[in-house]
Structure 1
Amino acid sequence: MVETPQPRIELYVRSLLPDGAHERQEAVIERLEEMDARGDVEGFSVIVWGKQLARDTAATRTDEGRYILNRVAEFQQWALSNNVSLDSFCQTHAAETEVSDEPKTAITLPVMGLAEYQDGELQHVAPCTKGDSVHTIMDRLKKLEAGLPSVVGTDAGSVRVV
């Protein structure tokens, strides 16, 4: 029997938050540390980002800005391919800037987001929404601990696998 490799996790966390949100981030990081120690995941990284990123600004021309834009584009492509919504993950809107009268398109980044990769391929993004169900980061971590696959919306009897 061929053993399936464990996923690698990227956890995106927003900086400069009130204590309550920071405590939730800490709880997820601690859980990922436990999962890593048990071998439930191949490893994980934590990427810190801000509240939003406006397109066509100096920030998006930096390595970090391009990285975030590329990741968000990858997440959006995954959502389209899996017929899910990332509205609970990030939203695009017009943002005014102090240096220009023209509003810029900005992406509001989540307080916390999770990307799961298997053999370098994106398998899951949380939070995401399928129908009326929001699949949270904690939902996905529970499924990973149980060894369940990363397929969004696959039904196994009355159990929804996420």
Structure 2
Amino acid sequence: MTERPAKPDHATHTDRSTETDTGLRAELYLRGDTHRGLGAREVVGRANRLEANGVLGESMVAGTWHRCHTRTEDWRSEAMEAYEEFEAWAEANEFSLEPGFQQRTRSFIGMDDVEEVVVFPVVALALYDADDLRAVFPCTDGDRTHTVESALAAFERGDEEWLTQFDPVTVEHAGPRLDAAGAVAD
């Protein structure tokens, strides 16, 4: 078993709760085994319309990921890097990425090996403003789950206040980590 290096500090907390929400970049991440379905097409279409209407500065399918990634084998993958960035945001906001992202163990019949895996959601939405990760969906605050659907609906109804409930964190990248080749189009 390969030892994983210490988790890098992907984010630092930034208090910008009073700033306006201009120039937001919406990155959609789709699970590779389901991204051609009607639900994914609808989400991509809604994000594209929000961009066309000037609500979002940019929207994109940032990439696709596999259903499961192991912490020991996939620690360098772009999907795990994105997950760890999202996890740092959730921790800074006292949110959880579950149940959308699930951490669990899996084993194989006839083998003693047990692996820790992260199960990725069918669709995830990350909102960036320059170097800040503003929010990740789906997420939960313990009482309520904030879905990709609820985030898009808030933008569609023009609710500018709902995003202020999330504290942004500064991140180390300026664009998507994953390859979006073959992703669903509007």
Provide runs of 4+ in structure 1 moved above 3 Å: none
Which runs of 5 or more residues in structure 2 are unaligned?
A: 1-18, 168-186
Equivalent residue for 2:66, pick from 40, 44, 50: 50
Using CA pairs below 8 Å that are at least 6 residues apart, which structure has the higher relative contact order?
2
How high is the TM-score relative to the length of structure 2? Answer: 0.69
Which runs of 5 or more residues in structure 1 are unaligned?
A: 155-162
TM-superposed deviation, 1:67: 1.4
In the alignment, which residue of structure 2 is the partner of 1:8? 25
Q: Which amino acid aligns with 1:16?
A: D
Q: Distance in 2 between matches of 1:131 and 1:153?
A: 14
Q: Distance in 1 between matches of 2:150 and 2:134?
A: 15
Query: Counterparts of 1:100-115 in structure 2 under 5 Å?
Result: 101-115=112-126
Q: Partner of 1:93: helix, strand, or coil?
A: strand
The 3 A distance-change label for structure 1 pair 104 and 6 is same
Q: Partner of 2:165: helix, strand, or coil?
A: coil
Is 1:32 aligned to residue 32 of structure 2? no
The 3 A distance-change label for structure 1 pair 142 and 73 is same
In the alignment, which residue of structure 2 is the partner of 1:148? 160
Query: Counterparts of 1:10-159 in structure 2 under 5 Å?
Result: 10-17=27-34, 22-46=37-61, 47-57=63-73, 60=74, 66-96=77-107, 101-145=112-156, 146=158, 148-149=160-161, 150-152=163-165
The 3 A distance-change label for structure 1 pair 110 and 3 is closer
How high is the TM-score relative to the length of structure 1? Answer: 0.78
TM-superposed deviation, 1:151: 2.7
TM-superposed deviation, 1:16: 2.2
Identity of aligned residues (%): 26
Q: Indicate the structure with greater strand content.
A: 1
In the alignment, which residue of structure 1 is the partner of 2:177? none
TM-superposed deviation, 1:4: 4.7
Q: Which amino acid aligns with 1:25?
A: A
In the alignment, which residue of structure 1 is the partner of 2:179? none
Q: Indicate the structure with greater helix content.
A: 1
Residue-by-residue CA offset, 1:81-116 (whole Å, 9 max, x unaligned): 111121122111112258x74212110000111100
Task: Tell me, yes or no, if the aligned pair for 2:27 and 2:125 is still in contact at 8 Å.
Answer: yes
Task: Tell me, yes or no, if the aligned pair for 2:134 and 2:166 is still in contact at 8 Å.
Answer: no
